[in-house]
Structure 1
């Protein structure tokens, strides 16, 4: 729009950010209007990128920086000794040696201009090495739990009560102390005013803590009168759009770090009237044998659901 003096007035309205498609557990969502800045959140991208992408990105930055400095050397008047005049590759490899602080000695700056460019390159190289080392250290030291979750929850009778059960195991077989588990039910609801919202309901567990977690653990939620799932039938489970969120936390004795793991289940995937196959056998000598090849297997519940 033109102003009174004929000058163009920039549009004050911000540009709309392109939509982003996100995967949230078993659902997909599309976000609008939130501008994402790659450079403003570079640390997050560097830490969460896959290892091949991380190293490819680091190599590209390294090569591009040295290409820029090789161009700067080309602009000088024979700034590097023992480099062929006008030989871009000589300047490029000299820049790489300076960045990496190798210093073979065959080529070295011999003019004030060459020394200035080399000093800037060495400073950037030292900083880049420190940043890269820090990022690699951060990526390696991130605590990651190796927890195997069952593919689907089950609902069966246990101790005379209808019970929702989820089994998970420690794939590392090391000792995780002060282990805890929390189970949440996430469902869609409408307020009295007709406003749509998500409600999170904590499901009480018969045992939500364990002093040691090394093999497997089956958490149980009794579906009684106090349970949000009270009165649900197999059809209710199959037709519901709610989700179960299981959060595990514990302290790894080996790494001295707190570990967390999460698994989301569409509640429609719950196997109603089925129970997990027992994976633990006890020999006559007292040796415990665990068969993880049957970890996800289920069977018809021994007692029909009430």
Structure 2
């Protein structure tokens, strides 16, 4: 048995363990976790629609729209298409009933098709109610998605293990891709490792500076690798063995939206560059203005000499 970060690791599970390589936190900030046994209840639908992708939301809305009109078209057929005034004789009965349902559900009402008789009017009453409720829900979901702050934090492609005088540091950079002002920024960094039984262990990484009042340029987040750090004397091979991943949580206040924003990111063990440092991402022009280039946020250079040894 070997000891790593104070945890026992059984070499006998190595083959199955080494075949598992998926990251925990995806680049878009979503967790790479599938939950089993949870139930999607009716009152969870709004929350689900608020976070589902735009493509899937569009398909859900289209499917709901077609399904409702299909069901009511069948009801109108059962009640008798002859009870609908103004039907098109060139269309089959089903399509007359379907298009009448569309006009009723959307409250378009061109004035050509109209219901006649108690049964058909009762069906129209029910469909009109569902139309109001359905469009209210869809409008709320769409408004909620568009009004929600859409943060665009750019992270450096790699986190670096950089030698400095007196030891090493873990560092990465981030910047605001929008022109809006972000204020009262805070960042938290966790190191997560996995043992041979797939159990995850988490370690808080202390930062030189965990907050900034203003965020106009890039921010280099630095974790000193001291004796108290879980990264102290750790090699790249050990990080790979434990499927190490650095999880980043950033939060702040967006002046444009007037809301607090959150952003998540991660660096896996194979996205750590050793013995490297960041190049300067901004310059000063002839007028004295600071010119910050987002394209240079990812640029690094190797550290040579005594520090890299």
Normalized against structure 2, the TM-score is what? 0.81
Shift of 1:293: 2.1
Higher RCO (C-alpha 8 Å, min separation 6): 2
Structure 1 stretches lacking a partner, 5+ long: 1-21
Q: Which moved more, 1:133-142 or 1:249-258?
A: 133-142
Partner of 2:190: 184
Which position in structure 1 is the counterpart of 2:71?
A: 68
| 2:229 partner SS | coil
Instruction: Tell me the secondary structure at the aligned position of residue 255 of structure 1.
Output: coil
Cα deviation, residue 158, structure 1: 4.1
The separation in 2 between residues aligned to 1:287 and 1:210, in whole angstroms, is 22
Structure 2 residue 267 is the aligned partner of structure 1 residue 261: no
Equivalent in the alignment of 1:218: 220
Q: CA RMSD in A?
A: 2.7
CA contact (8 A) 1:247 1:261 kept: yes
- Paired residue for 2:159? 153
Distance 1:235 1:100 in 2: 62
**Matches of 2:246 and 2:38, distance apart in 1:** 31
Q: String of CA shifts for 1:126-183, please: whole Å, max 9, x gaps.
A: 1111111111112222333201111111121346542111111111132111100111
TM-score normalized by the length of structure 1: 0.81
Q: How many Å separate the matches in 2 of 1:297 and 1:226?
A: 30
Q: Tell me if 1:206 matches 2:212.
A: no
2:88 corresponds to 1:81: no
Q: Which deviates further from its counterpart, 286-295 or 123-132?
A: 286-295
Question: 1:15-94 alignment to 2 at 5 Å?
Answer: 24-25=24-25, 34=37, 37=40, 41-77=44-80, 78-84=82-88, 87-94=93-100
**2: CA distance between counterparts of 1:75 and 1:133?**
32
**Cα distance between partner residues in 2 of 1:71 and 1:23:** 49
- The residue matched to 1:295 in structure 2 has which SS? helix
Give the count of matched residue pairs. 280
The structure where helix makes up a greater share of residues is 2
Residue 106 of structure 2 aligns with which residue?
100
CA distance in 2, matches of 1:97, 1:164: 62
Distance verdict in 2 for CA 1:29–1:70, change over 3 Å = closer
SS at match of 1:181: strand
Residue in 2 aligned with 1:293? 295
Unmatched 5+ stretches in structure 2: 1-21
Structure 2 distance, partners of 1:210, 1:35, is 39
Q: 5 Å matches for 1:219-238?
A: 219-233=221-235, 235-237=237-239
- Conserved 8 A contact 1:23-1:29: no
In 2, distance between residues paired with 1:267 and 1:253? 35
Mapped to 1, the partners of 2:78 and 2:238 lie a distance apart of 75
**In structure 1, distance between residues paired with 2:266 and 2:234:** 20
Q: What SS is found at the alignment partner of 1:134?
A: helix
Q: Distance in 2 between matches of 1:60 and 1:97?
A: 17
